[in-house]
Amino acid sequence: MKKLKQLVLVVAIVSLMLVSFGAQASGEIDITEDIFTGTVTVQANFENCKSEPVSVQIVPLDTDIDDMAEDHSYALTEMVYFNQTNSDSSGNVIFTFPLKADTGKYIVRMHSMTNPDSASEKLFVYTSYTDALEFWNGVIDSPAQNLTALIDILNIDDELIDGMKDDSDLHALIESYEDIGEFTKENADKLFMQIRKDCEELTLLREALSEIRLCENVSQVSTIIKNESYAEVLGISDYVERYFSLKTTRIVDKALAGKEFEDAKDFSDIFVEALKKAEDDEEENEKGGSSSSSSKGGSGSLGTSVNVAPVYTNPEVVLPFNDLTSVPWANEAVASLYSKGIINGKSETAFAPGDYILREEFVKMIAVYLGLEISDTETSFDDVDKNAWYAPYVAASVKSGFISGYSDSSFGTGDYITRQDVAVILSRIAKLPSDAAAITFTDDGEIASYAKDAVKALASKGVINGSNGAFMPNSYSTRAETAVMIYRLDKSIKEGM
């Protein structure tokens, strides 16, 4: 600060500005340099000095202020530019001039000619065309190492670019530029338009990946994918329509939510893999539904024999759903459970029979079916928020002993429930002993050891069956299948099993 004050005094003496009154630039001095023409533009506004003379002086930052104060001729020699002009009626003043100077740091000072003691000053980094050309050629040879210097040289006033000068990912992108070309204004503009575009895309990509990582619920994923800008930088634009055409996006959402991805390729690889898995499951389900009264995932009919579809014959219950024609074998079960409030639709007119059912959704159905007391919300599970809608149902069901989690601390919230897990819970409700009959399913080797007795017992009572001889224990249970299993269990219990 002392150095600047001394400089003000020296320049005031040199320019013979002896009268003093208060006027200085109301805003910051703005300095621009055109490397290609060697032209510098300096402008400011003096709101208290309108239509009055204003001067500009430029001196090297390392100039010896003491020597300038003692030797006015030295001061004049050190000054690389000095001029004065009148501000306009609004106090605006502008100087445009060719600057003959070496590359370096300079102090630009502006003040009213009538008040040398109140000046505005700014540091200015000047670069000669020769040095700029040298750095440009350096960028061609090694972009990442020379990018920061080039941004400074070309005086790119862009907060986004400035904030990413040292970004390794940006440098990696610039390393891939095939042709930067000769040092011309056209090529410089082209280069920095590309750099800015890459900065914007990198920023947006990191924002999108952060949103995915912070997803607390799988249902939030679809909102992110619906964002066209996010989809583009994540590299999945070509797949978004297929994603939203799924009957349920749960498989894809679960593969993404809360996960940390290294880059767009890492994300898109997982996304596409999960999408194809979901599409294959739905295609298999449709084949199974048309050939064996199954509704989802090739898991088979649970409410009737393979070749017989029972007719819904209860005219007292009027179902509002218009999407049950594909699962006639489940209509009676859906109607019964719907009339008792055990199961609801996904909307006023859609039951969504082929959608997989979540573990927490199944637990609510069981809690309502059993008429459990719903009050407490505390559980030992880390993934069951006590404020969540399903918390009291989970708490009541755990207390009843009918359900358990993956572990003491994990319930499996957000996961679909498998056919064999449904069988285990229903077997506990019915208190069925292990049946002596051998398991006849062709895939009994795939049934988990903890579920074998339950599957065997329920199969022997006709509560569950398979498709083409297979039970498919690890397939997810659908809403229609789940309704049928509960309904048939309830009938069997009332009939004395």
Q: Is residue 289 part of a domain?
A: no
Do residues 30 and 153 lie in contact, with contact meaning Cβ atoms separated by under 8 Å?
no
The predicted pLDDT at position 66 comes to 59
Do residues 296 and 354 lie in contact, with contact meaning Cβ atoms separated by under 8 Å?
yes
Determine the Cα–Cα distance for residues 147 and 166; give it in Å rounded to an integer. Answer: 9
Q: Is residue 291 part of a domain?
A: no
Angle at which helix 143-153 crosses helix 129-141, to 10 degrees, equals 150
- Which one-letter DSSP state was computed for residue 201? H
Q: Which domain holds residue 422?
A: 302-494
**Tell me, what amino acid is at 299?**
S
Query: Could you tell me if 173 and 241 lie in one domain?
Result: no
Which single residue is written with the structure tokens 């061609």? 140
Best CA proximity match to 483, nearest among 288, 344, 347, 372: 344
Q: Is residue 292 part of a domain?
A: no
Do residues 340 and 468 lie in contact, with contact meaning Cβ atoms separated by under 8 Å?
no
- The two counts, helices (H) then strands (E), for the chain are 19, 7
Query: Could you tell me if 485 and 374 lie in one domain?
Result: yes
Determine the Cα–Cα distance for residues 109 and 123; give it in Å rounded to an integer. Answer: 9
Do residues 33 and 105 lie in contact, with contact meaning Cβ atoms separated by under 8 Å?
no
Query: Could you tell me if 341 and 402 lie in one domain?
Result: yes
Total domains in the chain come to 4
The predicted pLDDT at position 383 comes to 87
Query: Could you tell me if 270 and 367 lie in one domain?
Result: no
What lies within 8 Å, CB to CB, of 125 at 6+ separation is: 104, 105, 106, 152
Q: Is residue 297 part of a domain?
A: no
Angle (CA) 49-51-57 rounded to 5° is 65
Q: Is residue 269 part of a domain?
A: yes
The predicted pLDDT at position 181 comes to 83
What phi and psi, each to the nearest 5 degrees, are found at residue 45?
-125, 130
Longest pairwise C-alpha distance within the chain: 116
The predicted pLDDT at position 494 comes to 79
Query: Could you tell me if 17 and 141 lie in one domain?
Result: no
The strand pairing partners of 58, in sequence order, are 81, 108
Query: Could you tell me if 173 and 187 lie in one domain?
Result: yes
Boundary (domain end) residue, out of 110, 126, 142: 126
The predicted pLDDT at position 25 comes to 58
Determine the Cα–Cα distance for residues 153 and 37; give it in Å rounded to an integer. Answer: 14
Query: Could you tell me if 30 and 158 lie in one domain?
Result: no
Query: Could you tell me if 476 and 441 lie in one domain?
Result: yes
What lies within 8 Å, CB to CB, of 105 at 6+ separation is: 60, 61, 62, 123, 124, 125, 126
Torsion angle defined by CA atoms of residues 138, 139, 143 and 148, in that order, rounded to the nearest 10 degrees:
100
Query: Could you tell me if 190 and 221 lie in one domain?
Result: no
Query: Could you tell me if 349 and 455 lie in one domain?
Result: yes
Boundary (domain end) residue, out of 207, 230, 254: 207
Residue 473, SS3?
A: coil
Do residues 103 and 126 lie in contact, with contact meaning Cβ atoms separated by under 8 Å?
yes
Mean pLDDT by 10 residues, the chain (497 residues): 42 37 61 90 86 88 64 70 90 92 89 71 88 84 75 77 82 80 87 87 93 81 89 93 84 88 93 90 62 33 31 57 87 89 86 89 91 85 88 90 84 89 90 65 86 87 79 87 91 76
The predicted pLDDT at position 237 comes to 92
Query: Could you tell me if 58 and 23 lie in one domain?
Result: yes
Q: Is residue 191 part of a domain?
A: yes
Q: Is residue 293 part of a domain?
A: no
What lies within 8 Å, CB to CB, of 154 at 6+ separation is: 35, 132, 188, 192
Q: Is residue 236 part of a domain?
A: yes
Helix (H) or strand (E) holding 274: helix 264-292
Query: Could you tell me if 431 and 316 lie in one domain?
Result: yes
Boundary (domain end) residue, out of 186, 207, 228: 207
